Amino acid sequence: MQLEPSAGGTAAAQPAAETPAATQVALPARLGHILSLDDFERAARSHLPGPVFAYVSGAVERNASLRANAASFEHYEFVPRMLVDISRRTTATTLLGKRYAAPFGMAPMGICALSAYRGDLVLARAAAAENVPMVMSGSSLIRLEEIVQANPDAWFQAYLPGDEPNRIALVERVKAAGYRTLVITLDASIASNRENNIRAGFSTPLRPSLSLAWQGITHPRWTVGTFLRTIVQHGMPHFENNHARRGAPILSSNVQRDFSDRGHLDWDDLRTIRRLWPGQLVVKGILDVRDARFAVDLGADGIIVSNHGGRQLDGTVAPLKVLPRIVQACPEVPVMIDSGFRRGTDVLKALALGAKFVFIGRPFNYAASVAGEPGVRKAITLLREEVSRNMAMLGVNQLSELDASYLLPAGS
Ligand code: GLV
């Protein structure tokens, strides 16, 4: 890996033991303009075929939740402290018994081996190299066993199959593979209304068509470097991890993807999973305080406050808005959050409101698409440097020092 001079000056003033060895990652010259996570989105928009970009970037219906997520950070403004010696500050933090280099990690993302060559593997390796957590999505195209071998600290996120034998078989498979942390996502009990995907020509499986072929021709770097390379080296990708058994192929004119009917599941089913799963159990997709308490009372080790990046119920409250009340109601577990985070300042606002950790999805997917593992490591580095630089300007040495006194509601 090449080294380049720090763009952030003294941004990363951390004790050596806390930071990974190669904190500066160089990208190909064509990506020299990448200075922030949003820049990866712009690069991915031209790199990816329209339908694939639409799947990653899109939300639902009027994108109200997507906008609310982005806007939620502006509802708070910082109140920094002065003349604090911040020369020994660190972005490192402990989550569920493990020390990580930064207070953020990778949210689960479905089918990211379609947007990036070996996408889940790239994310897993970059996360291991930079010492941040990576959550492997169950809706993915690379076998979960391969991912945990590349990154023994990876977490696995399941959408629970509707019928009990399949649920038990999936949990047993995840356990046998060696995962230690299981995330159950609750907000996708049925498929949401992804009209924008349909309009853009995206479906799972993808249906071969003239317009899809045209997208391939007009995006040759993706077609050759991701799609054809995958087919030649690994065969046609299938949904590998929704169940204990293999699912549908990603490209097919007639196979139906199996959207398990899980609409009848209730808290008793989660209680059963808790009994079956000996490792750490994290429940994702919580927005209501009562649900947060149910999850903790039945034995969840952590919760992720999330509206699925605005991809499920449109008009759902932004997670940041409900975060303080959930933190207050569940003091005994780490409360994590995702949906809309793009900047170090976003991360620090959530931590000041009581979040223990932040998960981020799409930007890491874009980084993997346009630049593989170095791209993802660059994205992690950029964000970690933003967090460190902003800690300095806030007058904070440890993330645990952050609390609501560093914020005021905007407009107050
Ligand atoms: C998968 O989790 C998706 O939101 O598409």
pLDDT digits (tens, 9 = 90+) for 193-245: 999 999 999 998 899 999 999 999 999 999 999 999 999 999 999 999 999 99
CA of 326 to the centre of ligand 1 (A): 24
Going by alpha carbons, the residue nearest to atom 2 of ligand 1 is: 110
Q: Give the binding-site residues of ligand 1, using a 6 Å CB cut-off.
A: 110, 139, 308, 311
State mean pLDDT over 161-183: 97
Q: Are 125 and 151 in contact (CB under 8 A)?
A: yes
What is the percentage of the chain residues whose pLDDT exceeds 70?
93
State mean pLDDT over 109-114: 97
Going by alpha carbons, the residue nearest to atom 5 of ligand 1 is: 110
Pocket test of ligand 1: the residue of 197, 311, 365 to mutate, having most ligand atoms within 8 Å of its CB, is: 311
pLDDT at 8 > cutoff 50: no
CA of 204 to the centre of ligand 1 (A): 11
pLDDT at 17 > cutoff 70: no
Which atom of ligand 1 is closest in space to residue 108's alpha carbon?
2
Where residue 254 falls among pLDDT bands split at 50, 70, 90?
confident
CA of 144 to the centre of ligand 1 (A): 17
The structural domains of the chain, ordered by start, are: 30-196+256-409 (3.20.20.70)
State mean pLDDT over 284-307: 98
CB-count burial class (<10 Å; 0-12, 13-18, 19+) for 331: exposed
Where residue 14 falls among pLDDT bands split at 50, 70, 90?
low
pLDDT at 257 > cutoff 70: yes
**How is residue 278 written in tokens?**
């000996």
The tens digit of pLDDT for each residue in 380-399 reads 999 999 999 999 999 999 99
pLDDT at 300 > cutoff 80: yes
Going by alpha carbons, the residue nearest to atom 3 of ligand 1 is: 110
Residues 6+ apart with CB under 8 A from 97: none
Lowest mean per-residue pLDDT among 36-50, 249-263, 298-312, 343-357: 249-263
| Range 382-394 burial, b when 16+ CB lie within 10 A, else e | bbbbbbbbbbbeb
Nearest to 399 by CA among 93, 140, 139: 93
Average pLDDT of the chain, as a whole number:
93
Where residue 247 falls among pLDDT bands split at 50, 70, 90?
very high
Going by alpha carbons, the residue nearest to atom 4 of ligand 1 is: 311
Predicted structure pTM score: 0.94
Q: What is the pLDDT of residue 71?
A: 98
The tens digit of pLDDT for each residue in 87-96 reads 999 999 999 9
Binding residues for glyoxylate: 55, 159, 194, 308, 311
Output the CA torsion sign for 142, 112, 262, 175: positive
33 is an active site residue: no
Where residue 261 falls among pLDDT bands split at 50, 70, 90?
confident
Binding residues for FMN: 108-110, 137, 157, 185, 284, 306, 338-342, 361-362
DSSP β-ladder status, 407-409 and 76-78? antiparallel
